Amino acid sequence: MTGPQPAATTVEAMVIPSDEEIRALHEKYAPTPEAFALVYTHCEIVCAVAEQLLDRSGLALNRSLVRAGCLLHDIGVYRLFGTTGRLDHAHYVSHGVLGHEILAGEGLPGALCRFCSHHTGVGLTRVDVREQGLPIPEKDYVAESPEEELVMYADKFHSKRNPPVFVTADSYAASVARFGEEKVIRFKEMRTRFGTPELNPLVAAYGHSLVGTSEETPPATDGGG
């Protein structure tokens, strides 16, 4: 659903894996076919959202890096599936750090690893980690490059909850408000920069419902995805 399948690319001396290589990594770490379908489909959808926003905005971002970041960002979720196939929701926020560790262990460059650890919510600060008692090292996990920011933003429009759903911009904005006005402002800034995606074509393509009320929106600490 995400268009042509590019081969591995070299960007500023950094080799970006191809779609096929990224899919192989998902297959390597997915504990079950069901887990693979859940996570990889979500990553494909986030990629489609990001590429739609790129096409509409005309921003001069590194498209290959954005695509790889979208397809890899949630690979750490596989580490949270137990032997029964159930997802450990209590430690879900750690999936970014776990994904960073997976990609680093595979020898991928730090710029790609960061898409895993720096996409949750609208960015987690060390203060967030401490005050919310999150089960991850006390550090800042915020997007720094425009490519990281776009992947983070695109991720907010689809959730892997059961069943998976698309999330409107207004719905996510209402949900993230529980974490403070600064998070609302941060999301608004990204929305101004990248625009609001048209989700209806993706709803039709994937058959996932569109959530339009804050009461139905998954917790913002899930990163929208």
pLDDT digits (tens, 9 = 90+) for 192-206: 999 999 999 999 999
- Per-residue confidence (pLDDT) for residue 152, from 0 to 100: 98
- How far CA 190 is from CA of 13, 44, 156, in Å, comes to 29, 21, 11
Residue closest to 171 by CA, chosen among 114, 216, 106: 216
Architecture of the domain made up of 9-222: Orthogonal Bundle (1.10)
Instruction: Express each pLDDT in 108-163 by its tens digit.
Output: 999 999 999 999 999 999 999 999 999 999 999 999 999 999 999 999 999 999 89
Query: pTM above the 0.85 mark?
Result: yes
65 Cβ contact partners less than 8 Å away, ≥ 6 residues apart: 11, 16, 111, 112, 147
Q: How far apart are CA 74 and CA 141, in angstroms?
A: 15
- Per-residue confidence (pLDDT) for residue 211, from 0 to 100: 87
Q: How far apart are CA 218 and CA 171, in angstroms?
A: 10
CB-CB contact of 65 with 16 (8 Å): yes
Please state the rounded mean pLDDT for residues 91-103.
97
Instruction: Using the predicted structure, report yes or no on whether residue 213 has a pLDDT greater than 50.
Output: no
Instruction: Using the predicted structure, report yes or no on whether residue 9 has a pLDDT greater than 70.
Output: no
Instruction: Using the predicted structure, report yes or no on whether residue 223 has a pLDDT greater than 80.
Output: no
75 Cβ contact partners less than 8 Å away, ≥ 6 residues apart: 25, 26, 29, 39, 43, 99, 102, 103, 116
Q: Tokens at residue 78, please?
A: 């596989």
Q: Please state which of the ranges 2-6, 25-29, 111-115, 164-168 shows the lowest mean pLDDT.
A: 2-6
User: Across the beta sheet with 158-159, what order do the strands follow?
Assistant: 158-159, 165-167, 209-211
Angle formed by the axes of helices 33-57 and 19-29, nearest 10°: 150
Residue boundaries of the structural domains of the chain: 9-222
Instruction: Express each pLDDT in 24-65 by its tens digit.
Output: 999 999 999 999 999 999 999 999 999 999 999 889 999 999
Instruction: Express each pLDDT in 66-76 by its tens digit.
Output: 999 999 999 99
